[in-house]
Amino acid sequence: MTTTTAELPASPTEADYVLHLYITGATPNSMRAVRNIKEICEEHLAGRYELLIIDIYQQPQLARQEQIVAAPTLVRQRPLPRRQLVGDLSNRAAVLISLGVPSSGNAN
């Protein structure tokens, strides 16, 4: 888990997928979300993604800045348009559709 303590970095990377996951500490939903997104990314987007996990308990101002209401929330910063996926990301099919990843499972 990458937990930033500074301001949100201005994603300088060239990754196709820039994902920010906002979690609330170690709550069950948050832990599940972290596990799920890591699995999805490794499975479908290996090498093409950048994942940032932010604990809004520690970065409350980011919650405001990024318009986070629900927790956990995964924000797809890239590709545009920006999308918010709320929930623990357990609905794998919905996540893939929302992320714009073909769900066939053989993307890479």
Partner 1 sequence: MPEYKLAPTALPQLPKALTGIDGLDEITEGGLPLGRPTLVCGSAGCGKTLLGIEFLVRGIIDYNEPGVLMTFEETADELAANVTSLGFDLKAMQADKKLRVDHVHIDRSEIEETGEYDLEGLFIRLGYAIDSIGAKRVMLDTIEALFSGFPNEAVLRSEIRRLFRWLKDKGVTTIITAERGEGTLTRQGLEEYVSDCVILLDNRVIDQITTRRLRIVKYRGTTHGTNEYPYLITEEGFSVLPITSLKLEHTVSNEIISSGVPGLDEMFTRRGWYKGSSILITGTAGTAKTTLAASFALEACRRGERCLYFAFEESPAQLIRNMRTVGLDLQPFVDQGALIIEASRPTLNGLERHLVTVHKLIKEHEPQTVVIDPISNLVSVGSLSEVRSMLTRLIDFLKVSNITALFTALVSARDGRMEMTEEGVSSLVDTWISVRDLEGIGERNRGLSILKARGMAHSNQVREFLVTDNGIQLLDVVIGPMGIITGASRLTQRMQEQAQLVAQQHELSRRDRELERKRRVLEATIENLRTEFESVEEELRQVNNEEHARHEALSSKRHTMGHSLTTNTPATPDPQHSA
Residue type, 54: I
String of DSSP letters for 85-102: EES-S--HHHHHHHHT--
Nearer to partner 1, 12 or 28 (CB): 28
Binding residues vs partner 1 (CB under 8 A)? 22, 24, 27, 29, 32-33, 36, 56-57, 60-61, 63-64, 67-74, 81-91, 94-95, 97-98
Q: How distant, in Å, are the alpha carbons of 30, 34, 57 from that of 102?
A: 25, 21, 33
Q: CB 11 → partner 1: shortest distance, Å?
A: 19
Nearer to partner 1, 53 or 73 (CB): 73
